């Protein structure tokens, strides 16, 4: 699986690393990169928390000079409504970052619902197999932890396929490695993550060395 920093030629995102593109988020990345093709100058970017959606929005803003409304569900609906109208008037593109679209996002203001419906929808999905592994590699590297390929493979096949769970796993193993000053191994990871309720404690055939 190839990877690239998104977008090629765009400025680095503020205070964060480059966004990693795999099939689970490639369409969302493409839609934001090609904002000039939007039917209206507004898009709703949805995706799981910790999925890099805010980072992707910041990269978009750095390139386009556009505006971001982040955590939209927690903002007054009237404020989002006015931001949408202002984007059309100023010709500055707007990205609204949210967990989901209406009706899952219970927007009460009818005029805002209609504007969100008219906006481009860019959706980040749950991480695919390639992204799971790349996220582990990146997050362990940031912590200065030596995570070998066999451990990455073991983790990627045993935990829930979600961005938040990847973060929880790295946090738990980082803490254990600091406290016990141990190298990260599959047996250590199994013990720590079983205690945290992230994986089952029973080893499988996959964990046993080949004879």
pLDDT digits (tens, 9 = 90+) for 171-192: 999 999 888 888 899 999 999 9
DSSP state of 104: T
Quote the domain boundaries for residue 88.
5-123
Q: What is the pTM of this model?
A: 0.82
Question: Is 113 in the same domain as 180?
Answer: no
The CA-atom distances, in angstroms, between 210 and each of 132, 148, 184 are: 25, 17, 20
Q: Are residues 156 and 191 in the same domain?
A: yes
Domain count along the chain: 2
Of 16, 104, 14, 28, residue with least CA distance to 62: 14
pLDDT band at residue 6 under the 50/70/90 scheme = very low
Report the C-alpha gap between 115 and 112 in whole angstroms. Answer: 5
Measuring CA to CA, which residue among 42, 37, 32 is closest to residue 124? 32
Q: Measured between alpha carbons, how far is 29 from 50 in angstroms, rounded to an integer?
A: 16
Q: Quote the crossing angle between the two packed helices 149-156 and 186-195, to the nearest 10°.
A: 30
Provide the residue count of the chain.
211
Q: Are residues 83 and 174 in the same domain?
A: no
Q: What average pLDDT does range 58-80 have in this prediction?
A: 94
What's the confidence (pLDDT) of residue 205?
Answer: 41
- 202 and 171 in a common domain: yes
> What value does the mean pLDDT take over residues 77-96?
97
């Amino acid at each position: 699986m190839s990877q690239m920093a998104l977008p090629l030629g765009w400025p680095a995102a503020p205070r964060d690393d480059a966004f990693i593109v795999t099939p689970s988020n490639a369409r969302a990345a493409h839609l934001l990169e090609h904002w000039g093709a939007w039917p209206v100058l507004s898009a709703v970017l949805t995706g799981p928390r910790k999925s890099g959606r805010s980072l992707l929005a910041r990269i978009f803003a750095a390139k386009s000079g556009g505006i971001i409304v982040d955590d939209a569900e927690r903002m007054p609906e009237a404020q989002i409504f006015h931001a949408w109208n202002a984007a059309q008037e100023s010709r500055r593109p707007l990205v609204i970052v949210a967990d989901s679209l209406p009706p899952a996002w219970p927007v009460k203001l009818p005029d805002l619902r209609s504007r969100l419906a008219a906006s481009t929808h860019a959706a980040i999905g749950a991480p695919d197999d390639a992204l799971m592994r790349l996220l582990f590699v990146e997050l362990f590297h940031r912590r200065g932890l030596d995570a070998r390929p066999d451990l990455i493979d073991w983790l990627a096949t045993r935990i829930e396929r979600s961005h938040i769970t990847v973060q929880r796993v790295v946090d738990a193993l980082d803490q254990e490695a600091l406290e016990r000053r141990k190298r990260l191994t599959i047996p250590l990871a199994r013990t720590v993550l079983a205690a945290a309720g992230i994986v089952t404690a029973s080893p499988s055939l996959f964990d046993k060395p080949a004879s």
